[in-house]
């Protein structure tokens, strides 16, 4: 996760330099949109770097549930930055509709965008590997807007080609507006995911069903209820009540609960599981979940 944040900062810094060079030479508002996006990427990736380092700090006396929500806070910060860039880009694009200007040194801009696309694609591939290994919401958010950058950069490339070789000057602001709309959608997705974690939203239904299935597979478990789940960074927190034969001794019930916990942790290795043992029928059907 740390290496993913370092790579993100390094790529964003490199792209800012070459895109600034390309914008000065071409004057393309589409390239400007890509430059602004990279500037915000650097800020967001910097926030991610510190957030991930903090999120990986183990639980301590004052933070018994760990520091994982630092990732969700970083995601909200990213969404705010991305929204701001989109609004600026929309204003700049509308202005360019009324004050059109030809693209200069377009071939340099095309070369720069090809380099940008290559670097971004390599970063996204690495980030997806990290997300697959860790499930990090911060790296997921970072990867999401870099995927958007790939589409953004392809759009800029198309706009440059249309403006240079087909003399369609409106392609520049048109594509910039489309890019701004896409960036806004990315900001919404990141904010929604981050808020879900900060508000302790339940895990997706398919994961909850998997937990129920594991618990009920144990031959001594007669039923279950009050399944509660949430996530914090990479970690899941799972609580549930198991119903067993009321004639079982406390030690036996405890051993059964431990066996169920072990099975759940095999499927969810980053989970902290709390199980309460109940007699069968102690709770009516209305209280079951």
CATH architecture of 2-198: Up-down Bundle (1.20)
Q: What is the pLDDT at residue 210?
A: 93
237 bridge partner residues: 230, 272
| Range of weakest confidence among 14-28, 162-176, 240-254, 263-277 | 162-176
Nearest 10 degrees: Cα torsion 245, 250, 254, 255: -80
CA separation (Å) from 82 to 93, 114, 145, 266?
A: 16, 23, 9, 38
SS3 content of the chain, % helix, strand, coil (to 5): 70, 10, 20
**Band of pLDDT at residue 68, cut at 50, 70 and 90:** low
The whole-angstrom separation of Cα 106 and Cα 91 is: 23
Q: Where in the chain is the domain with CATH 3.30.70.1350?
A: 205-287
Taking each helix axis from N to C terminus, what angle separates 29-55 and 137-165, rounded to the nearest 10 degrees?
170
Name the one residue in this structure whose structure tokens are 């059964």: 256
**Band of pLDDT at residue 287, cut at 50, 70 and 90:** very low
Q: What is the pLDDT at residue 7?
A: 85
CA separation (Å) from 178 to 114, 133, 181, 249?
A: 20, 33, 5, 66
For the full predicted model, state whether its pTM sits above 0.85: no
The whole-angstrom separation of Cα 222 and Cα 214 is: 13
Is residue 227 within 8 A of residue 276, CB to CB? The reply is: no
The whole-angstrom separation of Cα 216 and Cα 209 is: 11
Q: How is residue 109 written in tokens?
A: 């801009």
Domain 205-287: which CATH number of 3.30.1300.10, 1.10.10.10, 3.30.70.1350, 3.40.50.2000: 3.30.70.1350
């Amino acid at each position: 996760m740390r290496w993913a944040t370092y790579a993100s900062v390094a790529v964003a810094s490199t792209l800012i330099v070459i895109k600034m060079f390309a914008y000065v030479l071409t004057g393309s508002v589409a390239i400007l949109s890509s430059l602004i996006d990279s500037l915000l990427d650097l800020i967001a990736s910097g926030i991610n770097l510190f957030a991930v380092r903090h999120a990986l700090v183990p639980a301590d006396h004052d933070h018994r549930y760990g520091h994982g929500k630092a990732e969700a806070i970083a995601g909200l910060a990213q969404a705010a930055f991305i929204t701001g860039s989109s609004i600026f880009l929309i204003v700049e694009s509308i202005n360019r509709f009324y004050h059109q200007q030809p693209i200069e040194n377009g071939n340099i801009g095309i070369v720069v965008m090809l380099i940008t696309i290559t670097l971004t694609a390599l970063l996204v591939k690495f980030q997806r590997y990290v997300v697959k290994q860790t499930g990090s919401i911060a790296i997921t958010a970072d990867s999401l807007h870099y995927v958007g950058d790939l589409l953004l950069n392809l759009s800029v490339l198309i706009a440059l080609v249309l403006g240079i070789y087909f003399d369609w000057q409106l392609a520049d602001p048109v594509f910039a507006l489309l890019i701004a709309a896409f960036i806004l959608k990315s900001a919404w997705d990141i904010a929604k995911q981050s808020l879900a974690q900060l508000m302790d939203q339940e895990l997706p239904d398919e994961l909850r069903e998997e937990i129920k299935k594991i618990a009920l597979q144990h031959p001594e478990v007669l039923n279950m209820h009050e399944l509660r789940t949430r996530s914090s960074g990479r970690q899941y927190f799972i609580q549930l009540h198991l119903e067993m034969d009321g004639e079982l001794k406390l030690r036996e019930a405890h051993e059964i609960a431990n066996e169920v916990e072990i099975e759940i942790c095999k499927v969810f290795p980053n989970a902290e599981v709390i199980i309460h043992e109940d007699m069968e029928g102690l709770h009516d059907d209305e209280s079951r979940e």
